[in-house]
Structure 1
Amino acid sequence: MQGGDWERKNRLRSYEGLYKMAVRDFKGAAALFLEAVPTFGSYELISYEQLVFYTVVTCMLALDRPDLRSKVIQCNEIQEQLVGGGHKGELVLLKHYLESLYECHYDQFFLSLARVESERLKFDRYLEPHYSFYARAMRLKAYDQFLTPYKTVRLEMMAKDFGVSPAFIDKELHSFIGTGLLHCRIDAVRGVIEMNHPDSKNDLYKTVIRDGDILLNRIQKLARVINE
């Protein structure tokens, strides 16, 4: 590949990433932004600082915790911008936002998310139409991250960790449980959240059995055709 073609391909990643983010494909946008960070050259489109902002924001939603660590927190190019604070210190909030989620400081995460939403997302040309969806999705991710290690959690304890009232957590969890986004139930009498983790191994076993039956049926049909 010639040098000019390689440069255009690198610049195209930024354009495609912005498009995917604009149409709410945060996972696709995150993958493209991560590829663009080391070779960014689309300064006519956005600044490098803006690219880092979009990369962190989309990756926090799209990546699981191990990938967030390896691809964002341990990325030298991204950390250089975050530690420096960016132009006029505009990336300081982003650094706190990222670290609070990863380090499980949920009360700080809620405060940082509210500030990112009100100070940045609502005024961003690409993210403004999606700021409410994004904030709700990030709250869901934090709840899921908090609840996953447990079988049961006291509602009051969870509310204290998130720095909100038990009534707020109860209302939030009910909305996510009702739509099937959280696998748990709330025992209102005992004030306890009981987790109902999906059995991934059992689901995989059922999938293998189902696909195996389909394959065997096809082989049997093919054998009958050949024998005829």
Structure 2
Amino acid sequence: MADISKKIPVIQTLSQALHYIKENMAVFGWFSVVNFVFLLVFWHIDGGLSNKKSVLWLFSYYYYWCVFFRVYYNKKPYFITTDVFASLIPSTKMFFLVVAMSFLLAVLPYLPLLMGFDDEYLLFLENYMYQLQQAPVSALNMMVLTAILMMFLPFILCRPFLGFIASVQGLNGSIKKAWKKSAGNYWQFIAVMVLLNLPCMAVYEADKHLNCNGYLNLVFYSVFFVYYNLVFAKIYDFFNNE
């Protein structure tokens, strides 16, 4: 039975991830450099994920993060493939949840049309979509979209992610088990995601106003993604270190 009294110490968890970086700067640096190369390669793939070449990139990038967690937990050999394939089960479930929720959010504006609100609502929707396409993607727009998605992240990403981390180590990667262990932490997960997204929005705006053409974002995310995964490793440790 889940211990609902066990709450994630949000600030302490973020600090612990930073402390790990301080104590393992060389490892953090190497993973950041490799992450930079991965992101740079993806940046130059025409069409992004719609390009067939991205399949090889996607699998390689997935394998890279599996190795990252095996290094963090000192699970040798680091480049083992059996645990990587085992981790695909919770990862596939995570992907399905994210896609399903994204689809639901995408079709929500059209639900009134299916309920008989035809003419007036259709006119409003067409005008809204036109205005949305004309408006620049501002920090406010990003905050609104992020806030909507943020409400669902504890269910479709944060808690299933703990199952993925377990499976990469060769342990029980059951999402159900991860769900039980992390029960009662909805607002703690929300707080973690909000704090992690704040620097992302700040860097996005800085890149735009400084006319960096995405290069500032590229450098930032090369480092930030490593820190992001360290935070979730610390969350996993919190629930699984008895």
TM-score, normalization by structure 2: 0.22
Q: Which has the higher contact order (CA 8 A, sep 6+)?
A: 2
Which has the larger helix fraction? 2
Which has the larger strand fraction? 1
TM-score, normalization by structure 1: 0.23
Whichever of the two has the greater Rg, that structure is: 1
